[in-house]
Structure 1
Amino acid sequence: NLLFLEECLANRVSVNGLDKSGSTALHWAASGGHIECVERLLSIPNVEINVQNKLDDTQLHNSAWKGHHVIVEMLLDKGANKMIRNNENQYPYDLGSKHPEVGTLLKTVSG
């Protein structure tokens, strides 16, 4: 995945480009637990970290839902907004609270 990402970046594919679901590369890397790809994407100055896709999920929602606590922490360290609700009126915490490490990182959210 990292090699493909680097090839896309070398060919000037927009880091913030959206697919049919309204998701960015960071959405997919965060959802898949691809720490190296998330790290690389977060190193790009203009990467957007609070993009809402067609379900209104942000990259933080995706990583929280899948229980990827390392990625949740990386996104929070870069300033991801944990107070964004998706179209089901859920915060990232609501999706990730079943994973103890994720819940701890996002526990300051109150609905």
Structure 2
Amino acid sequence: LSFDEGDTLYILDMSNTDWWKAKCGNNTGLIPSNYVDQNTEAIDYPLHEASKRGNITFMRECISNNVSVNGLDKAGSTPLHWAAHGGHLDCIQLLLGSNCQVNVQNKLGDTPLHSAAWKNHAEAVKLLIQKGARVDIKNNEGRLPLELTKDPECAALIKQAVAPRNSYSNDYGDEEDSD
């Protein structure tokens, strides 16, 4: 496998101690393991890093190279936690469209909705709720997403999701039978 300085390598198999199977762009091949050890900078959580920074191009590359959209970093957070924290709507949409789990709690008990609410990202809150984010999950401090936001729009969106979704009256069911 040939590559240039600055190219991103995805290590696929490290079972052979001398030669690792890697992917660069659309090419897959073997590279000397000692070369990679000495001359590269590892990114332990590439999809998380891209999500934090709103780097949609790198996120797409990671996903196309089978980096897990549900992987956990050291804090137990998923890429969706970080995209929500940053309010990166395009990143949130990409992750949700890639079958990521929307209600994962990190080590603090926060879900991506907690992160978006805490950072007052109303559009992110709206998108997460539309995609099934639960508003009733408490974090380790016993706090709901509603309790973390200071933004009136975020609060209204969360309160609306708490209200019964099918609250309509059945005109025919209110009357007693006259038999």
**Which band: TM-score by shorter chain?**
over 0.9
Out of 51, 54, 65, the residue aligned to residue 11 of structure 1 is 65
CA positional deviation for 1:39: 0.9
**TM-score, normalising length: structure 2:** 0.58
Q: Which has more helix, going by share of residues? A: 1
- State the distance in 2 between where 1:33 and 1:94 align: 18
CA positional deviation for 1:107: 2.1
Alignment correspondent of 1:57: 110
Alignment correspondent of 2:133: 80
Question: After TM superposition, what 4+ stretches of structure 1 lie above 2 angstroms from structure 2?
Answer: none
- Could you list the runs of 5+ residues in structure 1 that have no partner in the other structure? none
- Could you list the runs of 5+ residues in structure 2 that have no partner in the other structure? 1-54, 163-179
Cα RMSD after superposing both structures: 0.9
Aligned residues: 107
- Compare CA radii of gyration and give the structure with the larger one: 2
How far does the alpha carbon of each residue in 1:42-68 deviate from its partner, in whole angstroms, 9 at most, with x for none? 112x31000000000000000000000
**TM-score, normalising length: structure 1:** 0.93
Q: Which has more strand, going by share of residues? A: 2
How far does the alpha carbon of each residue in 1:82-102 deviate from its partner, in whole angstroms, 9 at most, with x for none? 000001100000001x10110
- State the distance in 2 between where 1:79 and 1:6 align: 23
1:102 aligns with 2:148: no
- State the distance in 1 between where 2:144 and 2:65 align: 35
